Structure 1
């Protein structure tokens, strides 16, 4: 059975088409994304009509594409893009009226758990911590003995940090300090473990982009999924120089994140500092696959968060 899922995010809107297998697994048939940048259409907590129209246009494009492939159903969920705005209901009503699609707005804690489900498909994470940096929020999940102990979400992401602090394309030194201050203000509300976790895993496009740069710079195998702290610090230092090398790396390896990769890396840095993280595992899968597993494959756990 083919299953189409759309993640209506703050930075990207991504369609993934999966083929579900009889053994409870899945295979990805294709993925298509638009860098819609919906967080940039939000002012004083209100998403503008232009932002809502942008979301509708992308969803209609996806709908037409799937019709051409004879895929009837498209399941859409939204994260911080619609969760953290004041006019959520208006946006949902407009999308429904113009596209015929109902959007499932998931809570921040649920988003974190879905990201964990997705990560489990390729990553062994029985004890440790997972985080997911999006365009408009970051989720944290603590895991012990294969059970979710805690799931939290904070309203900082690579795109909203850019819009609230950066005047040009890349943050200058003064702007980097402002970003760091904003990050730490939010991270102070997160229940980090007192001891360094056994394993730290990250999901999402920001971390995958960082891994891509690390693998290129250090000439690693394409299937490498690990970033050491030393490697991370080296890449962050290179990218924040704003020289020819940094520009070439960004434009060649993550052109669709040209303005968000540095703010995103700054979030990762502060998280790694707080976790005393020496090694970061980057998952191939995340919240979309978690949504698929939980809602359509029944392989995602339906456990409650344990206290």
Structure 2
């Protein structure tokens, strides 16, 4: 049976279509992304009607696409853009009224846990940590003996960090320093593991984009999914130089993240240094696969 999962995020809205197999496994049939930038429609903690209508328009487009493929099982969940606003109930009600779709607004802790369960598809992480840097939040999970010891969500992501500090596309030196201060302050207030761990998994679009850039920069195979904290730190320093070569690299690999890749790299570098001693693994799977497990696969166990 086929299932559509839509992730309504701060920067992007992503649709993934999965075929669930009889034995409880699944295959990804296709994935589609729309750049919504919903965080840009939030002012004073309120998502504007224009932003709500933008979300409705994308959801209706995805619903029609799934109807074309004969898919009736369709789930929509939202993360930071609906979780961290004052008019969340109004937004969910308006979306339901205009599209007929129910939006499941995930708590930060549940989003963090689902990121871990989704990553288990590609990495057997029994001891270590996981992070997911989104547009409007960052989730961190600590794992011991295959169990989640702690899951938390921080109200800081690549897009809202950009909006808070950067006046144009590429940050100026003073803006980079302001971002560093905000990231350090946010992490200082977080409940991070007391000791760094050997293995950390990164999930989400920011991590995948930086992996692509790193593999090209270091001349590694396209399918390589590992790097060291030192590799990431050096790449972050190169990105901050904003040379013509670096700008072209970003344009080649993630043009839709042109404005958020530097804030994302700075945040990911700082998080990784706080968590990881040896190896950083970037997963192909994450919160959408975790949500599929949460809603569908777990019932078959």
TM-score, length basis structure 2: 0.97
For 1:2, the equivalent position in structure 2 comes to 2
State the number of aligned residues. 301
Q: Distance in 1 between matches of 2:170 and 2:300?
A: 39
SS of structure 1 residue aligned to 2:141? strand
For 1:114, the equivalent position in structure 2 comes to 114
For 2:287, the equivalent position in structure 1 comes to 287
Q: Distance in 2 between matches of 1:190 and 1:19?
A: 38
| 1:18-74 per-position Cα deviation (integer Å, ceiling 9, x unaligned) | 000112111000000011111111111111111111100100100111111111231
For 1:151, the equivalent position in structure 2 comes to 151
Cα drift, residue 224 of structure 1: 1.0
| 1:242-267 per-position Cα deviation (integer Å, ceiling 9, x unaligned) | 22111101110111111111101111
Q: Distance in 1 between matches of 2:230 and 2:270?
A: 14
Structure 2 residue 195 is matched with structure 1 residue 218: no
Q: Distance in 1 between matches of 2:5 and 2:194?
A: 37
For 2:96, the equivalent position in structure 1 comes to 96
Where does 1:11-50 land on structure 2 (aligned, <5 Å)?
Answer: 11-50=11-50
SS of structure 1 residue aligned to 2:183? helix
SS of structure 1 residue aligned to 2:189? coil
Q: Distance in 1 between matches of 2:261 and 2:299?
A: 33
Structure 2 residue 251 is matched with structure 1 residue 265: no
SS of structure 2 residue aligned to 1:214? helix
Unaligned stretches of 5+ residues in structure 1: 302-307
| 1:84-133 per-position Cα deviation (integer Å, ceiling 9, x unaligned) | 01110111111011100000001000000000000111101100111110
| 1:126-149 per-position Cα deviation (integer Å, ceiling 9, x unaligned) | 001111100000011110000001
For 1:69, the equivalent position in structure 2 comes to 69
Cα drift, residue 218 of structure 1: 1.6
Q: Distance in 2 between matches of 1:300 and 1:122?
A: 20
Q: Distance in 2 between matches of 1:299 and 1:70?
A: 23
Range moving further from structure 2, 202-211 or 235-244: 235-244
Structure 2 residue 180 is matched with structure 1 residue 176: no
TM-score, length basis structure 1: 0.95
Q: Distance in 1 between matches of 2:272 and 2:26?
A: 32
SS of structure 2 residue aligned to 1:104? strand
Structure 2 residue 246 is matched with structure 1 residue 240: no
Structure 2 residue 79 is matched with structure 1 residue 57: no
Tell me which stretches of 4 or more aligned residues in structure 1 moved more than 4 Å: none
Whether the aligned pair in 1 keeps the contact of 2:198 and 2:279 (CA below 8 Å) is no
Whether the aligned pair in 2 keeps the contact of 1:290 and 1:300 (CA below 8 Å) is no
Range moving further from structure 2, 131-140 or 191-200: 191-200
Whether the aligned pair in 2 keeps the contact of 1:117 and 1:300 (CA below 8 Å) is no
Unaligned stretches of 5+ residues in structure 2: none
SS of structure 1 residue aligned to 2:176? helix
